[in-house]
Protein backbone atom coordinates (compact mmCIF):
# COMPACT_ATOMS: atom_id res chain seq x y z
CA UNK A 1 0.00 0.00 0.00
CA UNK A 2 2.84 2.40 0.83
CA UNK A 3 6.35 2.16 -0.54
CA UNK A 4 9.09 4.58 0.39
CA UNK A 5 12.52 4.25 -1.17
CA UNK A 6 15.64 6.11 -0.09
CA UNK A 7 13.76 9.10 1.22
CA UNK A 8 16.03 12.01 2.09
CA UNK A 9 14.84 15.27 3.65
CA UNK A 10 17.18 17.98 4.85
CA UNK A 11 16.51 21.15 6.83
CA UNK A 12 19.69 23.03 6.03
CA UNK A 13 22.51 21.00 7.55
CA UNK A 14 20.14 18.82 9.55
CA UNK A 15 19.33 15.47 7.99
CA UNK A 16 15.70 14.99 9.01
CA UNK A 17 15.25 11.79 7.00
CA UNK A 18 18.30 9.77 6.07
CA UNK A 19 17.64 7.33 3.22
CA UNK A 20 14.46 6.00 4.78
CA UNK A 21 12.93 2.85 3.32
CA UNK A 22 9.46 1.68 4.17
CA UNK A 23 7.00 -0.88 2.92
CA UNK A 24 3.54 -0.99 4.46
CA UNK A 25 1.13 -3.75 3.53
CA UNK A 26 -2.63 -3.63 3.21
CA UNK A 27 -4.40 -4.28 6.54
CA UNK A 28 -1.46 -3.51 8.80
CA UNK A 29 -1.27 -1.26 11.82
CA UNK A 30 2.19 0.04 11.18
CA UNK A 31 3.90 1.92 13.98
CA UNK A 32 6.59 4.54 13.60
CA UNK A 33 8.28 4.69 16.98
CA UNK A 34 10.99 7.07 18.02
CA UNK A 35 11.84 9.91 20.37
CA UNK A 36 10.73 13.46 19.64
CA UNK A 37 12.64 14.81 16.65
CA UNK A 38 13.43 11.38 15.24
CA UNK A 39 11.67 12.16 11.93
CA UNK A 40 8.32 10.39 12.33
CA UNK A 41 6.13 13.38 11.49
CA UNK A 42 8.47 14.51 8.72
CA UNK A 43 8.21 11.05 7.17
CA UNK A 44 4.41 11.20 7.29
CA UNK A 45 4.31 14.72 5.84
CA UNK A 46 6.53 13.60 2.97
CA UNK A 47 4.33 10.56 2.35
CA UNK A 48 1.30 12.86 2.22
CA UNK A 49 3.12 15.15 -0.22
CA UNK A 50 2.80 18.09 2.13
CA UNK A 51 6.56 18.50 2.38
CA UNK A 52 9.12 18.76 -0.37
CA UNK A 53 11.87 16.18 -0.05
CA UNK A 54 15.36 16.11 -1.46
CA UNK A 55 15.55 12.57 -2.74
CA UNK A 56 13.62 9.34 -2.89
CA UNK A 57 10.39 7.85 -4.16
CA UNK A 58 7.02 7.56 -2.48
CA UNK A 59 4.28 5.34 -3.86
CA UNK A 60 0.77 5.13 -2.40
CA UNK A 61 -1.78 2.64 -3.74
CA UNK A 62 0.72 1.78 -6.46
CA UNK A 63 0.98 5.34 -7.79
CA UNK A 64 3.61 8.01 -7.15
CA UNK A 65 2.31 10.38 -4.50
CA UNK A 66 2.05 14.04 -5.48
CA UNK A 67 -0.08 17.02 -4.41
CA UNK A 68 -2.32 16.44 -7.41
CA UNK A 69 -2.82 12.71 -6.85
CA UNK A 70 -6.47 13.22 -5.93
CA UNK A 71 -7.32 9.59 -6.63
CA UNK A 72 -5.07 8.45 -3.78
CA UNK A 73 -6.10 11.34 -1.54
CA UNK A 74 -9.72 10.16 -1.73
CA UNK A 75 -8.71 6.93 0.02
CA UNK A 76 -6.66 8.58 2.76
CA UNK A 77 -7.67 9.88 6.16
CA UNK A 78 -5.36 12.10 8.15
CA UNK A 79 -5.29 12.71 11.88
CA UNK A 80 -2.53 15.17 12.54
CA UNK A 81 -0.60 15.75 15.73
CA UNK A 82 -2.16 19.19 16.24
CA UNK A 83 -5.91 19.38 16.41
CA UNK A 84 -7.14 20.63 13.03
CA UNK A 85 -10.76 21.74 13.32
CA UNK A 86 -12.73 24.96 12.83
CA UNK A 87 -13.10 26.65 16.22
CA UNK A 88 -16.31 28.36 15.12
CA UNK A 89 -18.10 25.20 13.97
CA UNK A 90 -19.79 22.68 16.25
CA UNK A 91 -18.68 19.07 16.60
CA UNK A 92 -21.30 17.92 14.06
CA UNK A 93 -20.54 20.75 11.61
CA UNK A 94 -16.81 20.05 11.76
CA UNK A 95 -17.18 16.35 11.06
CA UNK A 96 -19.74 17.08 8.36
CA UNK A 97 -17.40 19.60 6.75
CA UNK A 98 -14.40 17.27 6.52
CA UNK A 99 -16.50 14.29 5.53
CA UNK A 100 -18.08 16.52 2.88
CA UNK A 101 -14.69 17.06 1.24
CA UNK A 102 -14.72 13.32 0.41
CA UNK A 103 -18.43 12.55 0.20
CA UNK A 104 -20.25 15.39 -1.59
CA UNK A 105 -23.72 13.83 -1.42
CA UNK A 106 -25.38 14.96 1.79
CA UNK A 107 -27.67 11.90 1.99
CA UNK A 108 -24.69 9.55 1.78
CA UNK A 109 -22.72 11.71 4.16
CA UNK A 110 -25.22 12.01 6.99
CA UNK A 111 -25.03 8.37 8.21
CA UNK A 112 -21.23 8.47 7.97
CA UNK A 113 -21.09 11.56 10.16
CA UNK A 114 -23.47 10.01 12.68
CA UNK A 115 -21.38 6.83 12.71
CA UNK A 116 -18.17 8.80 13.30
CA UNK A 117 -19.80 10.71 16.16
CA UNK A 118 -20.93 7.48 17.78
CA UNK A 119 -17.62 5.75 17.09
CA UNK A 120 -15.65 8.47 18.87
CA UNK A 121 -18.14 8.79 21.73
CA UNK A 122 -19.12 12.36 20.93
CA UNK A 123 -22.87 11.79 20.80
CA UNK A 124 -23.53 14.05 23.79
CA UNK A 125 -21.31 16.81 22.43
CA UNK A 126 -22.51 17.15 18.84
CA UNK A 127 -23.65 20.77 19.32
CA UNK A 128 -20.59 21.81 21.31
CA UNK A 129 -18.00 24.20 19.92
CA UNK A 130 -14.42 22.83 20.13
CA UNK A 131 -13.44 25.35 22.82
CA UNK A 132 -16.01 23.76 25.13
CA UNK A 133 -14.44 20.29 24.81
CA UNK A 134 -11.80 18.81 27.10
CA UNK A 135 -8.40 17.84 25.67
CA UNK A 136 -9.44 14.20 25.30
CA UNK A 137 -12.73 15.02 23.60
CA UNK A 138 -10.96 17.44 21.28
CA UNK A 139 -8.58 14.67 20.23
CA UNK A 140 -11.56 12.42 19.58
CA UNK A 141 -13.11 15.15 17.42
CA UNK A 142 -9.80 15.42 15.56
CA UNK A 143 -9.94 11.69 14.90
CA UNK A 144 -13.62 11.77 13.89
CA UNK A 145 -12.86 14.47 11.29
CA UNK A 146 -10.13 12.28 9.81
CA UNK A 147 -11.99 8.99 9.65
CA UNK A 148 -15.66 9.84 9.01
CA UNK A 149 -15.38 9.13 5.27
CA UNK A 150 -14.13 5.59 5.98
CA UNK A 151 -10.71 5.83 4.35
CA UNK A 152 -8.70 2.79 3.28
CA UNK A 153 -5.51 4.27 4.67
CA UNK A 154 -5.35 6.33 7.86
CA UNK A 155 -2.35 8.30 9.07
CA UNK A 156 -2.47 8.95 12.81
CA UNK A 157 0.31 11.21 13.99
CA UNK A 158 0.64 11.07 17.78
CA UNK A 159 -3.12 11.12 18.32
CA UNK A 160 -2.87 10.52 22.06
CA UNK A 161 -0.52 13.32 23.04
CA UNK A 162 -1.80 15.15 26.15
CA UNK A 163 -4.77 12.83 26.49
CA UNK A 164 -6.03 11.36 29.79
CA UNK A 165 -5.66 7.56 30.23
CA UNK A 166 -9.39 6.90 29.78
CA UNK A 167 -9.57 8.78 26.49
CA UNK A 168 -6.30 7.17 25.41
CA UNK A 169 -7.69 3.67 25.89
CA UNK A 170 -10.83 4.67 24.05
CA UNK A 171 -8.78 6.08 21.16
CA UNK A 172 -6.57 2.97 20.94
CA UNK A 173 -9.59 0.68 20.95
CA UNK A 174 -11.14 2.83 18.23
CA UNK A 175 -8.02 2.47 16.08
CA UNK A 176 -8.12 -1.33 16.46
CA UNK A 177 -11.76 -1.25 15.40
CA UNK A 178 -10.95 0.84 12.32
CA UNK A 179 -8.33 -1.72 11.41
CA UNK A 180 -10.82 -4.55 11.93
CA UNK A 181 -13.18 -2.70 9.59
CA UNK A 182 -10.50 -2.86 6.90
CA UNK A 183 -8.43 0.33 7.19
CA UNK A 184 -4.67 0.21 7.03
CA UNK A 185 -3.19 2.35 9.79
CA UNK A 186 0.08 4.24 9.96
CA UNK A 187 0.56 5.24 13.57
CA UNK A 188 3.31 7.38 15.02
CA UNK A 189 4.05 7.74 18.69
CA UNK A 190 6.85 8.14 21.16
CA UNK A 191 4.89 6.07 23.68
CA UNK A 192 6.39 2.60 23.28
CA UNK A 193 3.65 0.92 25.33
CA UNK A 194 1.01 2.19 22.91
CA UNK A 195 2.90 1.06 19.85
CA UNK A 196 3.64 -2.31 21.43
CA UNK A 197 -0.04 -2.83 22.29
CA UNK A 198 -1.44 -1.65 19.01
CA UNK A 199 0.85 -2.20 16.07
CA UNK A 200 1.27 -5.33 14.02
CA UNK A 201 4.61 -4.09 12.70
CA UNK A 202 6.91 -1.41 14.01
CA UNK A 203 9.73 0.72 12.66
CA UNK A 204 11.98 2.24 15.28
CA UNK A 205 13.49 5.54 14.15
CA UNK A 206 16.19 7.79 15.48
CA UNK A 207 17.83 10.84 13.89
CA UNK A 208 15.84 10.33 10.69
CA UNK A 209 17.12 6.79 10.24
CA UNK A 210 15.49 3.42 10.43
CA UNK A 211 16.93 1.60 13.47
CA UNK A 212 14.97 -1.61 13.14
CA UNK A 213 11.72 -2.85 11.63
CA UNK A 214 9.60 -5.88 12.42
CA UNK A 215 6.91 -7.25 14.68
CA UNK A 216 7.48 -6.57 18.36
CA UNK A 217 8.63 -10.18 18.81
CA UNK A 218 11.06 -9.84 15.92
CA UNK A 219 12.42 -6.61 17.32
CA UNK A 220 12.95 -8.09 20.76
CA UNK A 221 14.66 -11.12 19.33
CA UNK A 222 17.17 -8.86 17.60
CA UNK A 223 18.83 -7.94 20.90
CA UNK A 224 20.86 -9.89 23.47
CA UNK A 225 18.77 -8.58 26.36
CA UNK A 226 16.25 -11.05 27.68
CA UNK A 227 14.12 -10.85 30.80
CA UNK A 228 14.69 -8.18 33.40
CA UNK A 229 14.72 -9.50 37.01
CA UNK A 230 13.64 -7.14 39.80
CA UNK A 231 13.99 -8.06 43.50
CA UNK A 232 13.03 -5.87 46.48
CA UNK A 233 15.89 -5.93 49.06
CA UNK A 234 16.47 -3.98 52.24
CA UNK A 235 20.23 -4.24 51.87
CA UNK A 236 22.75 -5.61 49.42
CA UNK A 237 26.48 -5.52 50.18
CA UNK A 238 28.65 -4.43 47.27
CA UNK A 239 30.63 -7.71 47.08
CA UNK A 240 27.39 -9.62 46.71
CA UNK A 241 26.29 -7.34 43.87
CA UNK A 242 29.57 -8.14 42.13
CA UNK A 243 28.94 -11.85 42.71
CA UNK A 244 25.47 -11.59 41.14
CA UNK A 245 27.02 -9.72 38.23
CA UNK A 246 29.41 -12.65 37.71
CA UNK A 247 26.62 -15.24 37.32
CA UNK A 248 26.61 -16.60 33.79
CA UNK A 249 23.99 -14.92 31.62
CA UNK A 250 23.64 -11.81 33.78
CA UNK A 251 24.48 -8.91 31.49
CA UNK A 252 24.51 -6.12 34.02
CA UNK A 253 23.07 -5.19 37.40
CA UNK A 254 21.92 -2.20 39.38
CA UNK A 255 21.00 -1.71 43.02
CA UNK A 256 19.19 1.45 44.00
CA UNK A 257 16.14 2.43 46.09
CA UNK A 258 16.17 -0.97 47.86
CA UNK A 259 15.70 -2.66 44.54
CA UNK A 260 18.01 -5.00 42.68
CA UNK A 261 17.66 -5.07 38.90
CA UNK A 262 19.47 -7.64 36.79
CA UNK A 263 19.33 -7.68 33.00
CA UNK A 264 19.73 -11.19 31.77
CA UNK A 265 20.64 -12.62 28.41
CA UNK A 266 17.74 -13.87 26.34
CA UNK A 267 16.91 -17.53 26.83
CA UNK A 268 18.70 -17.65 30.21
CA UNK A 269 17.39 -19.00 33.54
CA UNK A 270 19.14 -16.80 36.09
CA UNK A 271 16.19 -16.21 38.47
CA UNK A 272 16.83 -19.33 40.59
CA UNK A 273 20.59 -18.74 40.66
CA UNK A 274 20.21 -15.17 41.92
CA UNK A 275 17.59 -16.03 44.56
CA UNK A 276 19.75 -19.01 45.78
CA UNK A 277 22.73 -16.73 46.15
CA UNK A 278 20.70 -14.23 48.18
CA UNK A 279 19.38 -17.02 50.49
CA UNK A 280 22.88 -18.42 50.99
CA UNK A 281 24.03 -14.98 52.16
CA UNK A 282 21.02 -14.61 54.48
CA UNK A 283 19.67 -11.65 52.54
CA UNK A 284 15.96 -11.25 53.10
CA UNK A 285 14.01 -10.19 50.06
CA UNK A 286 10.46 -9.13 49.24
CA UNK A 287 8.85 -9.23 45.78
CA UNK A 288 10.77 -10.82 42.92
CA UNK A 289 9.52 -10.73 39.37
CA UNK A 290 10.61 -11.11 35.75
CA UNK A 291 9.69 -8.75 32.92
CA UNK A 292 10.16 -9.52 29.25
CA UNK A 293 12.27 -7.02 27.27
CA UNK A 294 10.49 -3.91 26.02
CA UNK A 295 10.93 -1.81 22.89
CA UNK A 296 12.80 0.61 25.10
CA UNK A 297 15.36 -2.17 25.74
CA UNK A 298 15.61 -2.67 22.01
CA UNK A 299 16.15 1.05 21.48
CA UNK A 300 18.60 1.19 24.40
CA UNK A 301 20.70 -1.67 23.13
CA UNK A 302 20.83 -0.39 19.56
CA UNK A 303 21.31 3.34 20.19
CA UNK A 304 22.80 3.37 23.69
CA UNK A 305 20.10 5.77 24.93
CA UNK A 306 16.64 5.55 26.40
CA UNK A 307 13.67 5.92 24.11
CA UNK A 308 12.18 8.36 26.59
CA UNK A 309 15.25 10.70 26.46
Partner 1 sequence: MFWNIYWKRILSSLRSKDMIIWTWAFPIMLSTLFYFTLTNLDEESLLKIIPVGIVTDAAFEQDTTFQTIIDTVSEPGEDQLFDLHRVDNAEQGDALLLQGEIDGYIQFKNKTPDFITKNDGLNQTIIKSFLDNYLQTKSSMEKLMTENPSALHQTASMFNREAFTKEISLTENPPTDTVNFFYALLAMVCMYGGFLGLKSVSMLQANLSPLGARRTMSPVKRFRLITCDLLGCITVHFACLLVIVSYIVFVLGISFGSKSGLVILTCLAGSLLGVSFGALVSISAKLKEAAKTAVLIVTTMICCFLSGLMFSGINYLIAQKAPALSWLNPAARIVDAFYCLYYYDTYDRYFLNIGILLLMSLVMFTMTAFFLRRQRYESI
Question: Where do contacts with partner 1 occur on this chain (CB under 8 A)?
Answer: 11, 45, 48-52, 66-68, 70-71, 73-74, 76, 78, 80-89, 93, 96-98, 100-102, 104, 106, 145-146
Of 84 and 265, which has the nearer Cβ to partner 1?
A: 84
Report in angstroms how near the CB of residue 98 gets to partner 1 at its nearest. 7
| Minimum distance, C-beta of residue 52 to partner 1, in the bound complex (Å) | 5
Which among 76, 176, 81 has a CA at the least distance from the CA of 138? 81
Please, are residues 196 and 188 in contact by the beta-carbon 8 Å criterion? Answer: no
**Minimum CB distance to partner 1 smaller for 80 or for 298:** 80
Select 83 or 236, whichever has its Cβ closest to partner 1: 83
Instruction: Determine how β-strand 14-24 pairs with β-strand 184-189.
Output: unpaired
**Reduced to 3 states, what is the DSSP secondary structure of residue 221?**
helix
Cα 234 to Cα 278: distance, rounded to the nearest angstrom: 12
CA distances (Å), 107 to each of 27, 112, 113, 118, in order?
29, 9, 10, 18
CB 29 → partner 1: shortest distance, Å? 20
Q: In the complex with partner 1, which residue's Cβ is closer, 101 or 162?
A: 101
Q: How far is the CB of 99 from partner 1 (least distance, A)?
A: 9
Q: What are the C-alpha distances in Å from 9 to residues 32, 142, 150?
A: 17, 27, 31
Q: How far apart are CA 154 and CA 178, in angstroms?
A: 9
- Nearest residue (CB) to partner 1, 49 versus 270: 49
User: Least distance in Å: CB of 172 to partner 1?
Assistant: 22
CA–CA distance, 15 with 169 (Å, rounded to integer): 34
Output the smallest distance, CB 77 to partner 1, in A: 9
Find the shortest distance in angstroms from Cβ 46 to partner 1.
Answer: 10
Decide whether 16 or 231 has the Cβ nearer to partner 1. 16
* Local structure of residue 304 (DSSP, 8 states): S
For partner 1, which is the closer residue by CB, 89 or 265? 89
Angle, CA 208 vertex, CA 204 and CA 212 arms, to 5° = 25
C-beta atoms surrounding 177 within 10 Å: 11
Count of positions (residues) in the chain: 309
Question: Least distance in Å: CB of 109 to partner 1?
Answer: 8
> What is the DSSP secondary-structure string of 66-92?
-TT-HHHHTTEEEE-SS----TTS-HH
Name the burial class of residue 283, with classes exposed (0-12), middle (13-18) and buried (19+) by CB atoms within 10 angstroms of its CB: middle
Amino acid sequence: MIQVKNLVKRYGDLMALDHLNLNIQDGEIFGLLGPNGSGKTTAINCMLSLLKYDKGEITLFGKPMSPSNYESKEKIGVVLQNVAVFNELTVYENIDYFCGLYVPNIKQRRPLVEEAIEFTGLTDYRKFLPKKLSGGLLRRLNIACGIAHKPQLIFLDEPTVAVDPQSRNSILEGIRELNRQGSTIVYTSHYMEEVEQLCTRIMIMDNGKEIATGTKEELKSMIRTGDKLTVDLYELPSPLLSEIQSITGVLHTDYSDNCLTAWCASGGHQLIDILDLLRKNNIRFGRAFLEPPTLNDVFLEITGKQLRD
